Amino acid sequence: MALTKEHLLKVYRDMVLIRRFEEVVEKYSKNGTIPGFIHLSIGQEAAQAGVIDALKVTDYKFPDHRGHGAIVLSSHPEDRKRIMAEIFGKKTGINGGRGGSMHINDLAVRNMGFNGIQGSTVVTCLGTAFASVYNKNDDVTVVFMGDGTLGEGTCHESMNLAATWKLPVIYALINNQYAISTFYTDSHPQEKLSDWAKGYGVPGETVDGNDIEVVIESTSRAIERARNGEGPTLIEYMTYRWQGHFSGDPAAYRPDGELEKWKEKCPLKLARQKLIETHAVDEKAIQDIHQEVEEEIEVYLQFSLESPVPAPEDSILHVYADGIQVEGRK
């Protein structure tokens, strides 16, 4: 199922936004402005943009630790600069600078957050899916995971329970082929990780994660199944991360030539080709998109750079609800 020209233009722009967002974050991480670890998703834009595109705002989303793209696209346009400010650790960040790159949530759009532990949200996501059933609505839950995540025992508990109770969960497994340095076939016996779902009687599918049309089409089918009460689906999106595990990792564990081969399959390049060849979009229209995104990213960046840092004593707020306050410094 091919996308309309307008739809493809929209998601192309989404992917450009992720790419530029990540490149800017990389720059300011490497120059020391952004504290802590940064996990970049350059090369994986189609899987993130496509899944988010297929969802409603009210669907629950659990991003993964390489999830800046899915997070920023989930957020309301006016809040997107606050996602970058969060990564910069600023008071204006979407979580007040309390969480940073690895722990961004945005309740307004039901981004339920990543919690920094692989396989943890894979069971938490059962609860939002359960709540949809309990409250008798048709909101589905998408949990992003990686090829490495599948090694965690919680994946079994989650899939077993979701399949038995037919919970509306979509397991969005972005296979970028490396868990830090370990190649995925060195840690899993399946040739296709989607085959893992078969043992639970759950449909599993491995798709080209760099082709955004394929991502949207396969994800939409899974979402429809979930909304119809037919239970979970696992989709494995085959892709590749261009950077190391974290910003600064030289990724010396990858064989020579592998990155170059995958750069040829760049998801942006693929979509651009389709726009030009199938939809007769001209080079100028493409450049306009890039220019527009550039201006938008510049707004995020200036906002992030100029925003104040949090008040230090804000760190003691919200440890507990119900007015229970922990002690600060005396």
* Contact call for residues 234 and 196 (beta carbons, < 8 A): yes
| Minimum distance, C-beta of residue 281 to other proteins, in the bound complex (Å) | 41
Is residue 99 part of the contact set for other proteins (CB under 8 A)?
yes
Is residue 309 part of the contact set for other proteins (CB under 8 A)?
no
Among 105, 177, 219, 247, binds other proteins (CB under 8 A): 105
* Contact call for residues 250 and 190 (beta carbons, < 8 A): no
Is residue 120 part of the contact set for other proteins (CB under 8 A)?
yes
Complex with other proteins: residue 1 or 319, whichever CB lies closer: 319
Among the listed ranges 64-72, 115-123, 218-226, 236-244, the one in contact with other proteins (CB under 8 A) is 115-123
C-alpha to C-alpha distances, 135 to 130, 132, 313, nearest whole angstrom: 8, 5, 38
Is residue 154 part of the contact set for other proteins (CB under 8 A)?
yes
Complex with other proteins: residue 125 or 286, whichever CB lies closer: 125
Which are the contacts of 192, defined by CB distance < 8 A and separation ≥ 6? 204, 206, 236
Among the listed ranges 24-32, 50-58, 108-116, 217-225, the one in contact with other proteins (CB under 8 A) is 108-116
Nearest in space to 84 (alpha carbons), one of 310, 300, 247: 300
C-alpha to C-alpha distances, 235 to 54, 156, 238, 265, 274, nearest whole angstrom: 13, 16, 10, 20, 23
Among 24, 112, 179, 216, binds other proteins (CB under 8 A): 112
Is residue 197 part of the contact set for other proteins (CB under 8 A)?
no
Is residue 246 part of the contact set for other proteins (CB under 8 A)?
no
> Cα–Cα distance between 276 and 234 in angstroms, integer?
32
| 236 φ, ψ (degrees, to nearest 5) | -100, 115
Among 123, 251, 259, 285, binds other proteins (CB under 8 A): 123
Is residue 160 part of the contact set for other proteins (CB under 8 A)?
yes
Tell how strand 182-183 and strand 178-179 pair up. Answer: antiparallel
Residue labelled with tokens 């020209």:
5
Complex with other proteins: residue 130 or 303, whichever CB lies closer: 130
Is residue 256 part of the contact set for other proteins (CB under 8 A)?
no
Tokens of 159: 């899939």
Given the rule CB under 8 A, which residues bind other proteins?
95-96, 98-99, 103, 105, 107, 112-113, 115-117, 120, 122-131, 134-135, 141, 153-154, 157-158, 160-161, 164, 317-322, 324, 326
